[in-house]
Structure 1
Amino acid sequence: MKYAELRDLTAEELRQKEAGLQEELFKLRLRQATSQVENPMRIRKLRRDIARIRTAQRALTGVAAGKGGL
């Protein structure tokens, strides 16, 4: 998932995508604990996708632009 794709989504769509990825990450971590993950790099990809979504959410609220900080 690329950041450019996320910029076009609404705040609600970003929240839904983040929730879905968080759930998938949780399930993968459970499977990893029992050594049943066929692609352990998927965990890294999910974490990075979640970070991209959170960055896009901050950009929507204006915090990343310096409007809500110190």
Structure 2
Amino acid sequence: MLWSSFRNVFSQDDESALKYLRRLRSIEMTLEILTKTGVGIIINKIRKESEDPEVATLGKNMIKQWKKLVPGR
């Protein structure tokens, strides 16, 4: 359900996707938020499926930052 909601938002157009990614990037992410929401998995899927290089790059950079929150990584 959450994945389909995100997918609908991000598939509207590239500008909308970038807007939401930038807004999400501005949130101070915690490991707790990541595990409870699964947002990292969702953004990774969006990053892989996007044809827009800016969306893919921004998503990739966000995932890299979030991985640093995981102990032992």
For the superposition of Structure 1 and Structure 2, which TM-score range results when normalised by the shorter chain? 0.3 to 0.5
Bigger Rg, which one: 1
Give the TM-score, by structure 1 length: 0.45
Higher relative contact order (CA 8 A, sep 6+): 1
